[in-house]
Amino acid sequence: MDCSTFCTCKVLDCPKHPKNHNDGCTPCIIKNLEQHEIPACFWDKIGDDKQAKSDYTFYKFAQAVMATEKGS
């Protein structure tokens, strides 16, 4: 499957971005799992671009999700 057709990540200059190679999302997911982080596309989905630019950790993502849910 060509991930570049549905990828919502805005970090186009990232070497792991599907538009920059032919390996789909795999390199991005591997990197994020190794660093205990959440991919930028997940942050984009919850609309928390500001937080994502400073800390992609699981913990900060969980906090952002909870804050988003409270604001709904």
pLDDT at 27: 95
Q: Residue 27's CB: how many other CB atoms inside 10 A?
A: 16
Model confidence at 1, pLDDT cuts 50, 70, 90, reads low
pLDDT at 2: 66
pLDDT at 33: 96
pLDDT tens per residue across span 13-64: 999 999 999 999 999 999 999 999 999 889 888 886 555 567 899 999 999 8
pLDDT at 70: 80
